[in-house]
Amino acid sequence: MSIVIDENKRTALEAIFPVSIAETECSHRIKPVVIFNCMQDLAARSINHYDYRYGCEGLAEEGRGWYIIRYRVEFDDYPLDVKELKIRTESRGVQRMTAFRDFEVFDNSTGKRILKAASSWFVVDLESKSVINIQQEYPEFLRYEKREDDLTLAKLKSVEDFDNEKIFHVRYDDLDINNHVNNTVYINWALEALDYEFRSSHSLKTLDIYFKHEVKYGDDIVSKVRIDKENLVTEHVILNAATAEEVCLLRAEHVTN
């Protein structure tokens, strides 16, 4: 998978993001959530670049917003001491309810690719929470066409028999412009259930995420994880503590540093 930037096309966009010391772990690796925040920022810029009507502000005028549903992320090699990220994203178009978007992330100083990713998105009515049929409501939106080298968005299933769990409280600072918890916060909740020894001695290799339900300000969240230390695979379930409803599933493959 490779994203080509063509100034004559509006579907792809590239930007450079500086990385501060506060965004780097003690092992000198960039924090995963920082990468995802930058990807989300560029996705917002890109959809507005494609057409204002489909951008965050354009949809907000109609009482609608973008919700990410799935991620598939494959890391090439987790680099050290990254000072700038160069990120490319491409809108792959829509198929009925679902819009698809690809990403590539590079270490800007070396040109080395950090990861490639695929994602799927819904447009949601912010009041009723109903999913909009994008293809029907916005017939001029680019149609999705599959490519041979596309990443596969996994259909994650829940797991049981967890090894660790942590409880989190939804803070005001966890909310985004749609007044629901930002998707990167779920990633933080999931990874925080891993212990310090595991986190500090391993890096992400792949990541599959399924965002199932939103949570609200003031909710309590339980993040649970099952760890396969032999195969370095972790499976995560995030629950609403009050209702036991699954709000996010995540599966990660890791490599030893």
pLDDT digits (tens, 9 = 90+) for 196-233: 999 999 999 999 999 999 888 999 999 999 999 999 99
What is the spatial distance between Cα 153 and Cα 155, in angstroms, rounded to a whole number? Answer: 7
Examine the pLDDT at 170 and tell me if it is beyond 80: yes
50: which 2 tokens? 């494609």
What is the spatial distance between Cα 136 and Cα 220, in angstroms, rounded to a whole number? Answer: 37
110, 77 contact by CB (below 8 A): no
What is the spatial distance between Cα 231 and Cα 228, in angstroms, rounded to a whole number? Answer: 6
Indicate yes or no: pTM above 0.75. Answer: yes
SS3 content of the chain, % helix, strand, coil (to 5): 20, 40, 40
Identity of residue 170: V
- Closest CA relative to residue 23, chosen from 184, 202, 252, 239: 184
* Position 179 confidence tier, pLDDT thresholds 50, 70, 90: confident
- The gap from C-alpha 116 to its chain's centroid, in whole angstroms, comes to 12
Examine the pLDDT at 135 and tell me if it is beyond 90: yes
Q: What is the model's pLDDT at position 107?
A: 96
The model's pLDDT over 106-120, given as tens digits with 9 standing for 90+, comes to: 999 999 999 999 999
65, 124 contact by CB (below 8 A): yes
Q: What is the model's pLDDT at position 176?
A: 83
Examine the pLDDT at 9 and tell me if it is beyond 80: no
Q: What is the model's pLDDT at position 62?
A: 94
